[in-house]
Structure 1
Amino acid sequence: MGNHHSSSVDPHHHLNVAKLAPPPPPPRAISRKRSTAKLLGCTSADAFEIHLDVPSPHAHAHEHIHDHESTTAASDQDEKRSFDPPPLYAYSASAVDILEDAAADAYRSFLKQYPEYQLTWILDALRRSDFSRLDRSGETYVDYMGGSLYPESLIRVHTGFLHRNILGNTHSVSNSSKLSSACADEARAAVLSFFRAPPGYTVVFTANATGALKLVGESFPFGETSGFVLGADSHNSVHGIRQFALRRGASIHYIESTDHGGVEVDEAKAVLYRSRPKNKHNSPSLFALTGQSNISNSKNPLSLIKYASSQGFHTLLDAAALAPTSVFSLADTPVDAIAISFYKMFGFPTGVGALVVREDFLAKLERPWFAGGTVDVVQAPGNIVTMASELHERFEDGTINYLNLPAITDGLRFLSAYLPFLPLRLSCLMHHLLGSLSALHHDTTGAPVVRILSRTPTRRLRAVGEQSDTGSVVSLIFLHPSGEMMPNTFIEYAASRSSISLRTGCMCNPGGAASILGLREAMAALPSDVTLAAFERHMGHELGVVRISLGLASDFRDVFRVIRFAETIRSAGPREALWAQWLGSKTGEAV
């Protein structure tokens, strides 16, 4: 299938929360104490001190409320509300309109059903301090799987660092080059610390997670007796590795996806067992696991990595969708290599990813070429090449993105502070969103408005630090009152009219899309010269899903507005008006 584009806490981290995201003071005065926080940036960055107001630890003392003491009860409730984080509507930059009044009422009902949501109030403070542009613009952003939003303080910190310092190309020994090299070393150390990597791991900086996956694919020593095992519900960047394997005569083995995406553990183990290499050294084989699907919302069991390793496979984890909202430890799951993109994790910078890799595995990879920065000596003319002494340098083609690497260190510190709270918040929002969307029916026929296709969480989180069994993605299709699928392009158009940024298409994950859409047989029957347009004509409708994905800055109001948008689609009058506008916008096109 093609793809249609629409418009964990480590005590050893040197956290810089105060500098990056100081929460604003609440509207009512409460007992406070002063605390001080310091930030050290890259090696030569100036350290400086700022002050942060922190609520008194005694602010949340328990109150005893008795029915017969109504005056005292009312007073206690007022006092309790003064300590609770105020809803975001109190801080709206614009006047409170009818929508916001309705949202405030819905928010109170939501908190009664999900009181644990208030344990994540620090993320409300973050929304106000670092993502206030969302509220100023009125945009509802629900495409975090496509790319996280950058926190404004991270940009200020990084801009300030660039303003104060001079950075040069790392391939030199000047002062500016030494500073760049020091920042790169610090960024590598921050990545290893964030993923709890034990000794023996290193970091290769790439352009993105795709670049990291390609690096493994093109360099892995596949042979005619080798195998490459992967799940059908994987990103195209994982599927693409099969091209390198096939060119070297290796065999490809797929683990079928379930109807709701992901793999079934017993089936995965059976495929791995049947295709295990007879000799690990003479038949190097690779198992690529998708940590979390970007379309089906499935989290695959990381225990499969240990099993695959026991069967003689080298292991690769695509963590691009997993890392932004889940805690992952290389000490607990010692995979040979993981691929990540930093913009997926904290929004900035784009153009930088990493392969976090065991050094002994990296030493087995064979680059198909060499480039500037990867070599020590090159005979020209001639055939002699001596590769760089540092392993990671052999795989970083040309000059690394040295101007942006300091932002990686600060971004990981930033995310480390908030990541423990994120699964709980997203669990509340996901359960509310899924329940609300599933309850919607057309006002004319009573038919469902949406069909949810992605995997839904099986349990509700109750405490900070718990991890969800799924991601925070909802893939669905909207339905006409007759039950037929509405065109995704219409939903995309209607959502943009409501200032909602979502995604439609197959998300560069053809196997996952085929599974949740029930198109596995059609996928298997595709001709070799197929195009997406031809495939859609054959099926008689657009292919793909509407994807709503939540992330670091998501709050109740985002989910509320998505639900209100879906309610618009359920109502005949507003829907038909939008349909007419959409058709008018496509004048001259085939619909």
Structure 2
Amino acid sequence: MFKRDFPYFANSKTVYLDNAATTQKPKNVIDSQIEYYEKYCANTHRSSYGDANMATRKYENSRELLKEFINAKKSEEIIFTKGVTEAINMIADTFTRDYKSVIISSLEHHSNIVPWHMQGRDLTNGLKVVGCDNNLNFDFEEYENILKKNPNSFVSVTHISNAFGKIHDIKRVCDLAHKYESVVLVDGAQSLAHAKIDVQKLDVDFLALSSHKTFGPTGVGALYVKEKHLENMKPYQTGGATINEVDFNSSTLLNSPYKFEAGTQNIAGVIGFGEALKYINRIGYENIKTVEKDVYNYLNSELEKIPNIIFYNDTKDCIGSRSFNIKNISHDDIGILLDKMGIAVRVGHHCAQPIMKKLGIKGTIRVSTSFYNDYEDVNRLIKALKKALDMLS
């Protein structure tokens, strides 16, 4: 019933099941960007005429909306970025270099692995990886042992695995980290599309968020930084909109968040991000959770009926993504045939090569759902999958 809010579904016959890659956008999000470009297109935080003031108000309103949405204490803790990838790179470059150890999980996206390699870290030098069991559950015993041996570390973990949908217990991750005087960055790229996040309740130090995976525009994201860490962060970039005073001898910068948002930002995108949050508020997370879990469980029950299907985890503590393979059949070949039948899923390693290597596979077929998907989408997927398997057998 929610498809009517999303123009994509009125203009495409595709069964869209690639929501972990990006979500579709409701009409209010699209309209808000068109309105900016058509009615008050101006730069923010610079000029004082009417359209510029309107653009600044709308932009800052999105910051206030996000602050309330994740229960941050202050708007100064919200920094707009291009997305989660830039947010993680920002923290890696501006905050973590002096930490002897960085601790990540085995289910990380490449965006939470490669930045640490760029610092010269690897398994023999400053990078620690928490393993998982045969059901891809985070190994908290190993995690605490690593923290005991490496106190005052920087922990950087995903909240929800993009490849397998596995949900990490972030509250427990944070509590253990703080017990050993460590700080925590959470990759929340998949989070807001599925669940309410309360940064104060979870006690996270940093939270990286995505707009385009949260029904908002591409090219926009945000970084929450707990207030006490702001003074220890150096600007990632500098230039226009970040300065208080400049002469040829020196520069002084504005306070957060502005000193971290150099240059002209994606103004229309940030405004659209705010509209996406409004949309979620109108729908309500209880409705989202109820509908999505129902469809996710139905998807799993129908997939379990497919002969020779291989799963890598059960659906406990999972949401969004369901990854699988079919014995002795290439996932790439299946993906090509599904596309020919109008089914959009992702096949491959999903930017999570290390966990794929541990599982001894090159990749999976990933079906990722959202609350606008329904039983009919699942039925069409299963019908197309069976036809593809008949063709490839």
TM-score, L = length of structure 1: 0.62
Residues 533-565 of structure 1, C-alpha deviations (whole Å, 9 max, x = no match): xxxxxxxxxx21111100132111111111112
Return the letter of the residue paired with 1:518: G
- Contact 2:46 2:52 survives alignment (8 Å): yes
In the other structure, the counterpart of 1:492 is 335
Cα gap change, 1:221/1:562 in structure 2, threshold over 3 Å: closer, same or farther? closer
In the other structure, the counterpart of 1:509 is 352
Counterpart among 29, 37, 53 of residue 154 in structure 1: 29
How far 1:324 sits from its partner (Å)? Answer: 1.0
Highest Rg: 1 or 2? 1
Give the counterpart letter for 1:234 in structure 2: E
Cα contact 1:245–1:251 (8 A) shared by 2:
no
Secondary structure, in 3 states, of the residue corresponding to 2:132?
coil
1:222 correspondence with 2:97: yes
* Residue equivalent to 2:360: 518
Query: 2-side partners of 1:359 and 1:555: how far apart?
Result: 41
Partner of 1:360: 228
The answer as to whether partners of 2:102 and 2:127 remain within 8 angstroms in 1 is yes
Match of 1:385 in 2: 251
**1:470 maps to 2:336:** no
Which amino acid letter does the alignment assign opposite residue 290 of structure 1? T
2: CA distance, partners of 1:232 / 1:415: 31
Aligned twin of 2:13? 138
Q: Does 1:331 align with 2:190?
A: no
1:183 aligns with 2:58: yes
Deviation at 1:260, TM superposition (A): 3.4
Paired amino acid for 1:237: S
Q: What is the alpha-carbon distance in structure 1 between the residues aligned to residue 21 and residue 8 of structure 2?
A: 19
Which residue pairs with 2:145 in the alignment? 270
User: Is 2:304 the partner of 1:435?
Assistant: no
Q: Structure 2: which 5+ runs fail to align?
A: none
Matches within 5 A, 1:289-328: 289-302=157-170, 303-328=172-197
Q: 1:568 aligns with which of 384, 387, 393?
A: 387
Q: Is the CA contact 2:23–2:214 (under 8 Å) kept in the aligned structure 1? A: yes
Please state whether the residue corresponding to 1:189 is helix, strand or coil: helix
1:244-263 aligned at under 5 Å gives the runs 245-246=119-120, 251-263=126-138
1:470, distance to aligned residue in structure 2 (A): 1.2
* CA separation of 1:262 and 1:177: change in aligned 2, threshold 3 A: farther
Checking the alignment, whether the CA contact within 8 Å between 1:222 and 1:250 is kept in structure 2 is: no
Match of 1:452 in 2: 311
| CA shift for structure 1 position 250 | 7.0
Q: By how many angstroms is 1:229 displaced? A: 0.9
Higher RCO (C-alpha under 8 Å, 6+ residues apart):
2
Q: Counterparts in 2 of 1:9-408, with a 5 A limit?
A: 124=1, 126-127=2-3, 129-131=4-6, 133-134=8-9, 137-160=12-35, 162-199=37-74, 202-223=77-98, 226-243=100-117, 245-246=119-120, 251-277=126-152, 285-302=153-170, 303-346=172-215, 348-367=216-235, 370-380=238-248, 382=249, 384-388=250-254, 390-408=255-273
Given that residues 492 and 504 in structure 1 are in contact (C-alpha distance below 8 angstroms), is that contact kept between their aligned partners in structure 2? yes
**C-alpha spacing 1:157/1:246, structure 2 compared with 1 (3 Å):** closer
Amino acid at match of 2:100: S
* 1:337-365 alpha-carbon deviations (Å, 9 max, x no partner): 1001111001x311111001112212111
Aligned-pair CA distance for 1:171: 2.7
Q: How much does 1:412 deviate? A: 0.3
Instruction: For residue 511 of structure 1, report the CA deviation from its aligned partner.
Output: 2.5
Change (3 A) 1:188 1:272: same
> Which residue identity lines up with residue 287 of structure 1 in the other structure?
V
* Percent identical: 19
Q: Output the amino acid matched with 2:357.
A: A
Q: Pick closer, same or farther for the CA change 1:152–1:272 going to 2, 3 Å.
A: same
The answer to whether the 8 A contact 1:296-1:512 is kept is no
1:261 Cα offset (Å): 2.7
**What letter matches 2:203 in structure 1?**
P
CA contact (8 A) 1:259 1:518 kept: no
Cα distance change, pair 379–136 in 1 and its aligned pair in 2 (3 A): closer
The Cα shift of 1:200 comes to 7.5
Question: Match of 2:68, as an amino acid?
Answer: S
**1 CA distance for matches of 2:91 and 2:388?**
45
Q: What is the one-letter code of the residue matched to 2:114?
A: G
**Do the aligned partners of residues 513 and 201 (structure 1) sit closer, same or farther apart at CA in structure 2, a change above 3 Å counting?**
farther
| Alpha-carbon distance in structure 2 between the residues aligned to 1:235 and 1:315 | 16
Alpha-carbon RMSD: 2.3
What is the alpha-carbon distance in structure 1 between the residues aligned to residue 87 and residue 223 of structure 2? Answer: 5
> Any conservation in 2 of the 1:261–1:512 contact (CA below 8 Å)?
no
Deviation string 1:445-476 (CA, Å, 9 cap, x unpaired) is xxx2x2122x3323xxxxxxxxxx21121111
CA deviation profile, 1:264-287 (whole Å, cap 9, x unmatched): 22222222222113xxxxxxx311
Q: Does 2:273 correspond to 1:415?
A: no
**Which whole-Å CA distance do the structure 2 matches of 1:328 and 1:401 have between them?**
24
Q: Distance in 2 between matches of 1:141 and 1:368?
A: 36
Query: Matches of 1:489 and 1:156 in 2, distance apart?
Result: 37
Measured in 1, the distance between the counterparts of 2:8 and 2:51 equals 35
Q: Per-residue deviation at 1:199?
A: 4.2
